[in-house]
């Protein structure tokens, strides 16, 4: 059957890379990413000023740094989005190896910055890096390669390999302890395995093992237990981060208290990172929160919609894992702020302050844009129909 093109514009052989990229990339998703970054800078103008004053720095010190990090992230995202699926897979595997080495070095040379979890490596010049942020997109690429290879004729037992990798990564993250990132990695693996046709009983078994692991973590980790106890408490302590965030969201109402008029940024130590959505809700109201949700939802839904007609197993599995991990991370961050979930120390992609977070998000979305670009290919229904 004549090859068809998924999308509206076919790729013309010999085109320069930039025009070809522009015609084939999902421009709606690209615009949504730029919108999220712009909102992050806008919120940073309010949320980071108290921290700068506390540290005797210029008022917009952290906003300026975020703008630099964001420019780097957008540049990396554009470069990665121009890659072919094979290049995404190759660089994802290389990146995974480096990220794993960095994570294994954390117990020896890592720091917790007083947060109770050793997640960062100090760099010269007062900089730091959080390896787990870079591990996530690379983990998805590696496991998707294993899972896709398992379905090839005479292929390796890739699904078993992916399980071993997932178990190892989750264990290393839990030892930091970083149960939020560990949960997100495990979720990504379950989604990819499900898309590849995993038996339901296996996924139920993984869920059961996760529950048992959570009970063990509660008994063994004071850091984890404090967060669970605070989440389950009948009354929210108004002096905790959850208490401040809850009050800010209530105060904001539908339209917010006004630009720069919020007070939660002066009380929350993580107002510019983990709880930036509370600043948005207080100063700009529900309108801003719904706009942010719409941007994340558009990226995820459009990506998944394009992937449903993709015939390459690696592209389909990896793209689904990246899209779902991106969306769920945003939901976890916002769910913590409204007390639907226990505190996990997870940033809001492209909106929260942080070099590791925003650059790693740029890599992840760059991979997703690369995998969802239009390419000459038959519809997946054509491929499935040939088997009958």
Q: Within 10 Å of residue 379's Cβ, how many Cβ atoms?
A: 16
> In a 3-state reduction of DSSP, which class is residue 187?
helix
Question: Which letter does DSSP use for residue 12 in this model?
Answer: P
Question: Tens of pLDDT along 133-153?
Answer: 999 999 999 999 999 998 887
Q: Is the pLDDT of residue 67 over 90?
A: yes
Question: Tens of pLDDT along 263-276?
Answer: 778 777 777 888 88
Q: Is residue 1 part of a domain?
A: no
Q: Give the residue numbers spanning the domain of 137.
A: 17-379
Q: Is residue 88 part of a domain?
A: yes
Residue of 260, 236, 234 lying closest to 247 (CA atoms)? 236
Q: Is residue 118 part of a domain?
A: yes
Tokens of 304: 């998944």
Average pLDDT, the chain: 84
Q: Is residue 5 part of a domain?
A: no
Q: Is residue 315 part of a domain?
A: yes
Secondary structure (DSSP) of 117-140: S--EEE-GGG-EE-HHHHHHHHHH
What global pTM score does this model have?
Answer: 0.87
Question: Tens of pLDDT along 181-228?
Answer: 898 999 999 999 988 887 777 778 878 888 887 777 777 777 677 777
Q: What is the predicted pLDDT for the residue at 26?
A: 94
Instruction: Report the number of distinct structural domains present in the chain.
Output: 1
Q: Is residue 56 part of a domain?
A: yes
Q: What is the predicted pLDDT for the residue at 238?
A: 62
What's the CA gap between 364 and 196, in Å, rounded? 20
Residue of 3, 47, 30, 25 lying closest to 298 (CA atoms)? 30
Question: Tens of pLDDT along 353-383?
Answer: 888 899 999 999 999 999 999 876 544 444 4
């Amino acid at each position: 059957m004549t090859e068809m093109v998924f999308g509206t514009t076919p790729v013309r052989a010999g085109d320069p890379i930039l025009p070809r990229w522009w015609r084939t990339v999902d421009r709606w998703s690209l615009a949504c990413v730029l919108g999220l970054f712009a909102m992050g800078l806008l919120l940073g103008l309010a949320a980071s000023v108290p921290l700068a004053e506390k540290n005797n720095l210029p008022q917009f010190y952290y906003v300026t740094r975020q703008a630099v990090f964001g420019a780097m992230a957008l540049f990396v995202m554009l470069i990665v989005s121009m890659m072919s699926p094979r290049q995404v897979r190759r660089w994802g595997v290389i990146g995974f190896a480096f990220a794993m080495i960095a994570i294994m070095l954390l117990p020896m040379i890592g720091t917790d910055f007083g947060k109770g979890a050793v997640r960062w490596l100090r760099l010269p010049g007062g900089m730091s890096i959080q390896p787990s942020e870079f591990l996530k997109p690379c983990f998805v690429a590696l496991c998707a390669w294993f899972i896709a290879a398992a379905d090839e004729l005479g292929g390796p037992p890739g699904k078993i390999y992916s399980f071993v990798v997932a178990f190892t990564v989750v264990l290393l993250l839990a030892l930091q302890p970083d149960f939020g990132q560990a949960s997100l990695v495990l979720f990504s693996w379950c989604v990819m395995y499900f898309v590849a046709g995993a038996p339901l009983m296996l996924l139920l078994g993984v869920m059961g093992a996760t529950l048992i692991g959570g009970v063990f973590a509660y008994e063994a980790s004071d850091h984890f237990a404090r967060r669970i106890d605070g989440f389950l408490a009948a009354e929210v302590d108004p002096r905790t981060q959850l208490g401040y965030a809850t009050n800010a969201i209530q105060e904001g109402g539908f339209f917010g208290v006004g630009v720069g008029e919020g007070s939660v940024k002066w009380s929350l130590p993580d107002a510019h990172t983990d709880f930036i959505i509370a600043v948005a809700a207080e100063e700009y109201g529900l309108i801003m929160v719904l706009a942010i949700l719409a941007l994340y939802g558009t990226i995820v839904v459009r990506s998944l919609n394009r992937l449903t007609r993709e015939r390459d197993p690696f592209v389909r599995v990896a793209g689904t894992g990246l899209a779902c991990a991106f969306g769920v991370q945003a939901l976890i961050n916002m769910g913590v702020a409204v007390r639907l979930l226990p505190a996990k120390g997870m940033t809001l992609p492209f909106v929260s302050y942080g070099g590791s977070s925003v650059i790693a998000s740029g890599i992840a979305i760059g991979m997703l844009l690369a995998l969802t670009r239009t390419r000459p290919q038959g519809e997946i229904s054509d491929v499935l129909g040939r088997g009958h």
